[in-house]
Each structure stands twice: as C-alpha cells, then as structure tokens.
Amino acid sequence: MDTEPISILNQNIDEKVIQDDSENSGLMIEKIVDSYENVTIYFLIYLFKEQDSTKTNLVSKSAPIFIWIGENVSAPSIDSLLVSMKTPMDNQPSLSEIFSSQLASNAATMIKRIVMKYNTQAFISYNISQDVPELHLYVEKRLFQLLNQYYAASK
C-alpha cells in the first residue's frame, strides 16, 4: 500500500503514527490505517497523557478521549459527533449527540462501551457510511484492541 500524506484541517498527517509536537505535550495523537475486505478504515485517536514528567508516554486514565473513525480521508468530515460520560445519577453513561446523522446509532453503543470499560469521558465521530453489520463489528473490535494497547501501557 502506497503511503501518501492525508490532509485533515490543512495539516499533513503521515500514514504511520503522529508524534507529539513537543516531548512535553500533554496530548498523544495516534493515527492507524486498517482495512476490512475492500474498505480502508482510518482511526484518529487523541489521548491525554499523564502530567507526571517521568511518565510521558502513559495515557491518563481520567482524561477525556476523542476518536475519529472514517473511510474517506480525501474529504474528512465530522458528520456524527457524540459525547458520553458516566454520571452519579445512573449506572449507564449519559449520551448526547453534538452532530447527528444516520451513523450515530452505530457510534452510540460503541461510545457507551468505551465509557464503561475505561471510565472516562469520550467523544466519537463515526463516519463509516457503508451499512454492512460485519464492517461495523470489525471497526468496534479493532478500536477496542487499539484502546486496550494504550490503556494497558498506563497500568
């Protein structure tokens, strides 16, 4: 697969993993390119790091996380954007649609699972337009594999 820069918000992003602008940055940005059958899937994950200077690469377990998932990087969009977090009034996380689309239902269950498993506030923009249940299941499984890597390193 040829690697060419992807432009998101007029910033070039390499096909591999983005490194922080500075070593002291509190933000870790991960970009992963994957595929399922003939669909290329892009994951862009913003993770906040621990503020302790001796743990510069560890993900903060209490900080929010932002996830963008899409299949079209030539015209990236945020057609659906959801936020979810735990509240003291309910066992289930609360969910709010900031931008709504037909894709929001696929992201709603995914984001609630993220909040429950990692006990953090989460934002997700899910932009996979193909209505193939197996594809959505694959995307969710792959996302949790990636998040497990980041949060496991923080233990």
Model-level pTM? 0.76
- Structural domain span for residue 41: 6-152
* Residue 1 is assigned to a structural domain of this protein: no
Would residue 89 count as lying in a domain? Answer: yes
CATH number at residue 55: 3.30.230.100
Strand partners, 6: 13
pLDDT at 20: 46
**Cβ neighbours of residue 66 closer than 8 Å, sequence gap 6 or more:** 45, 46, 122, 123, 124
The total domain count for the chain is 1
In a domain, 144, yes or no: yes
Instruction: Classify residue 61: in a domain, yes or no.
Output: yes
Per-residue pLDDT tens listing for the chain (155 residues): 454 454 444 444 444 444 545 455 678 888 999 999 888 999 999 988 766 645 555 666 778 899 999 987 667 778 789 999 999 888 899 999 988 777 667 789 999 999 999 989 999 999 887 778 899 999 999 999 999 988 776 65
In a domain, 143, yes or no: yes
Region at 81 (left for phi over 0; alpha for psi -120 to 50; beta for the rest): beta
Identify the three-state secondary structure at position 27: strand
